[in-house]
Structure 1
Amino acid sequence: MSDRAVPEGEDAPGLTMSAGLYRLRRVSTTDFDPGDRFDAWRETAYSIADLEVPDAGEAELFGTKYAVRGTIGNFASHAGSVHRTIITPAARLSGALDAIIISLMAEGSVGLESPGGEQPITPTGRLVAYDATKAMRYHWSVGKEIYVVLPRIKALEAFGGELPGIVQPLDTIPLGVMVRDHMAALDLHAEHLDVKEMAVALDALHTLALLLLQRIGRGLGDREEPDPNALFLAAKRYIHANYNVVDLSPDAIARAVGCSRATLYRAFTHNGATIMDTVRDIRLSMSRRLIEAGTGRSISVIAYDCGFKDASSFGKQFRSRFGVSPRAWRHQFG
């Protein structure tokens, strides 16, 4: 992408669907005949990365995407099935992918496989930046990505140099949390905005995104520790998205939010909490909701679904927290 406004009728990286500035364009796999679906979807919905042919036995490809072009950059949302995309060395060298992506995994996760074999995972709720010029394979789960496409020159100028590593976490400071929330809100309300409203909202988002890159880059240069409040909120979001993982540990949470375990402990202490107490409290709250919902699942199944290793331990912790056993609590809502 060049460092200029995109003229009417001309597409930029991330938007193969031609549309006027600030006008929402939507496309779905259901728009195409089954026999032509893969090729049509590959041609229509992808430009930064190439969609790989599904493996034998994988579920049928499905997806929906909408995108908006602005004068500073672009905004898009993609939801769909398990799939893989790849940025080849040839595509990278062509200069056609000259963009920095700010990505929010609203649902699901993505693994990024570099030529060197590194495969970091971006989980649900995480806001990251990555460089579209780096050759890489993306392994997408069933889920939804909301993302901003920024001109690479403009983004790296704000950041103050190349992005370190494969992905750069962005929601470890309050401004990152604000950008993440703005992206989620625009995704939710985009179809209800007229062109003028979209222009104001999208330009504001792109300005905030560039300011965020500037702030993160300055912090890395100064070797500042991430803001403990933002880190605490990012960790809690990750726990909420992964409370059902039985072996959820401080190490796993620290890796997910992009900090050391010691830094994560300090962030929780700063907020008057501990990591594992927070994990336990979130699990107990979710189990109580499931019990109250009357799903018909047994207490043992609910315990396992909420990340507890066994029903006995779950029962003791539930009684300690709520004063009654899980079965007694169910009886109140039966």
Structure 2
Amino acid sequence: MRPECAARGFAVRRCVPKLRAMTPPTLPACVLEHRSSADLEPALRHAAWQEIAHRWVDFRPAPEVPLEAELTTLSSGVCSLGATRSSAYEMRTGARRAQPDDMVVLTLMQFGDLLPQAYPRKGPGALSLCAPREAGAYRWGQGARQVFLALPRQDVAAALGQEPSTRLLSARCALAPALSSQMGHAALLLRQGTLDASECAALLDATRALALLMLRNLGRQGLGADLPDLNECLHAGRHAAALRFMEQQAHRHDLDAAAIAQGAGCSRTRLYEAFAAQGQTVMGVLRDMRLQRAQGLLAQGQRLNVGALAWRCGFADASGFSKLFRARFGLSPTEWHQRAHTGAHHERS
């Protein structure tokens, strides 16, 4: 099933700058699907949801509540990215249910909690790696919501430099916050359903690349901060990590390439290479990100203070900000604000 997506909104363009320009033409095709337990006959719901959402594990819904679940997935022949919400259930993993397409799953809790055997209870914000080959039991609370990325076990093993094992990642790797942010951002876009085919492919590729880069850095902790790439192509992961860091820190007036490289877990040379591979410059993307953020704030706010707006978006000089804004959008901030709110006023009249 491949649903057609609606026209893209401003938020998508703002969060993923120049996405069309940086989408490689050879990305694998993706399939976007949304499934709901409400579409299944109650008597068949358990067995059907086992096959739809939990085919690598034993799935046991809580007997005291009816099964209610939703699953949105974006899949290619390489990996799958998904966002899920469910009533309370238990999941058991083990080698006996391993599939031919043996996968390892990165999960980010967004709401609710999870009580696994392998580590203490985790709640919102916790990022973990689950190896379904390992025997384990996990209990999700009512209404739990999470994002997951399923990767081939062999790819994860190659990135880590060892066989993957179930573990909590949130506090173990400098890039874990960047991946958590990317996965949360991806889940929002998937639920909105506003991406076209090329944007879906770019989103999945960037998330996969960032995940493998994080796992690579995690596996090499203590062996050197910026190891040779050998035959690996890590530009996409570094680019995605840098974008997530820049979006979170764009308001900082002291944000420069050195700080962005540190946030992306690489050297400045590697950072420049990653952006050059996309036909971009680091500071050019940051500038465009700030300008689009300013445009969004102008659309939201009824009052206009150009100096305060410039400062809030990371520009120390209001005059320079106004010139850049005009060059980017064809209007000054004041003119853009007037046009936006005059149009909104006429729509309400």
How much is the aligned-residue C-alpha RMSD, in angstroms?
2.5
Contact persistence 2:119–2:167 (CA under 8 A)? no
Relative to structure 1, is the Cα distance of residues 48 and 221 closer, same or farther in structure 2, using a 3 angstrom cutoff? farther
Q: Map 1:129-148 onto structure 2 (within 5 A).
A: 129-142=129-142, 143-148=144-149
Matches within 5 A, 1:30-69: 30-55=38-63, 58-69=64-75
Shift of 1:86: 1.4
Which residue, out of 81, 90, 94, partners 2:87?
Answer: 81
Distance in 1, matches of 2:103 and 2:52, equals 19
In structure 2, the residue matched to 1:208 is 210
CA deviation profile, 1:135-175 (whole Å, cap 9, x unmatched): 222211121110101111111111111345x3141454442
Output aligned runs, 1:129-208, within 5 Å. Answer: 129-142=129-142, 143-163=144-164, 166-190=166-190, 191-208=193-210
Distance 1:70 1:159 in 2: 22
1:219 aligns with 2:221: yes
Q: Does the C-alpha gap of structure 1 residues 120 and 217 become closer, same or farther in structure 2, counting only changes over 3 Å?
A: same
Normalising by structure 2, we get a TM-score of 0.52
- Specify whether residues 22 and 201 from structure 1 end up closer, same or farther in structure 2 by C-alpha distance, changes over 3 A only: same
- Per-residue Cα deviation, 1:232-275 (whole angstroms, up to 9, x for no partner): x9xxxxxxxxxxxxxxxxxxxxxxxxxxxxxxxxxxxxxxxxxx
> What SS does the aligned partner of 2:34 have?
strand
Residue 101 of structure 1 corresponds to which residue in structure 2?
105
Q: Is the 8 A contact 1:28 1:63 kept in 2?
A: yes
Where does 1:242-261 land on structure 2 (aligned, <5 Å)?
none
Change (3 A) 1:195 1:44: same
- 1:119 deviates by 5.2
Gaps of 5+ in 2: 1-27, 226-244, 249-349
SS of the residue 2:175 aligns to: helix
Question: Could you tell me the TM-score, scaled by structure 1's length?
Answer: 0.54
Matched residue count: 197
Note if contact 2:159-2:212 (Cα within 8 Å) is conserved in structure 1.
yes
Does the CA-based 8 Å contact 1:21-1:68 persist in structure 2? no
2-side partners of 1:71 and 1:96: how far apart? 14
Runs of 4+ in 1 over 3 A off after TM superposition: 170-174, 220-223
**Cα distance between partner residues in 1 of 2:116 and 2:129:** 12
Question: Residues of 1 paired with 2:163 and 2:222: CA distance?
Answer: 12
CA distance in structure 1 between the aligned counterparts of 2:60 and 2:204, rounded to whole angstroms: 30
Contact 2:176 2:214 in 1 (8 A): yes
Distance (Å, rounded) in 2 between the aligned partners of 1:124 and 1:170: 11
SS at match of 1:192: coil
How has the CA–CA distance of structure 1 residues 21 and 111 changed in structure 2, closer, same or farther, with 3 Å as cutoff?
Answer: farther
* Alignment partner of 1:27 is 2:41: no
In 1, distance between residues paired with 2:44 and 2:130?
Answer: 31
Percent pairwise identity: 23
Asked if the contact 1:171–1:180 (Cα under 8 Å) also holds between the matched residues in 2, the reply is no
Q: Is the 8 A contact 2:108 2:127 kept in 1?
A: yes
Partner-residue secondary structure (3-state), 2:220: helix
